[in-house]
Amino acid sequence: MSCKIETVRDKENNYIKLNGLDSSATYTDTLTGKTYYGDELLNRGIMFEYELKDFSTVIMHLVKN
């Protein structure tokens, strides 16, 4: 299952907040294996380590546990 998740980027702290997730679930990044809590992704966001320019795209694959 896949879905489009709208994001809000905090450019000052380089975090991206994800919307539309289950706050009581955990999510695993398939590339790094790191697990995040849904409420953490909704409120704080995920650290974004890439520099984006206009019209850039990055795909992150998070799996709900």
For 55: left if phi > 0, alpha if psi spans -120 to 50, otherwise beta; the answer is: left
Residue 64 in tokens:
């709900």
Give me the tens of pLDDT residue by residue for the chain, a chain 65 residues long: 344 555 555 556 677 788 889 999 999 999 889 999 999 998 988 887 766 667 777 778 899 99
Q: What is the rounded distance in angstroms from the CA atom of residue 24 to the CA atom of residue 38?
A: 6
Q: What is the pLDDT of residue 65?
A: 93
Q: What is the pLDDT of residue 24?
A: 96
**How many Å is the Cα radius of gyration of the chain?**
12
Q: What is the pLDDT of residue 2?
A: 46
pTM for this model (two decimals): 0.71
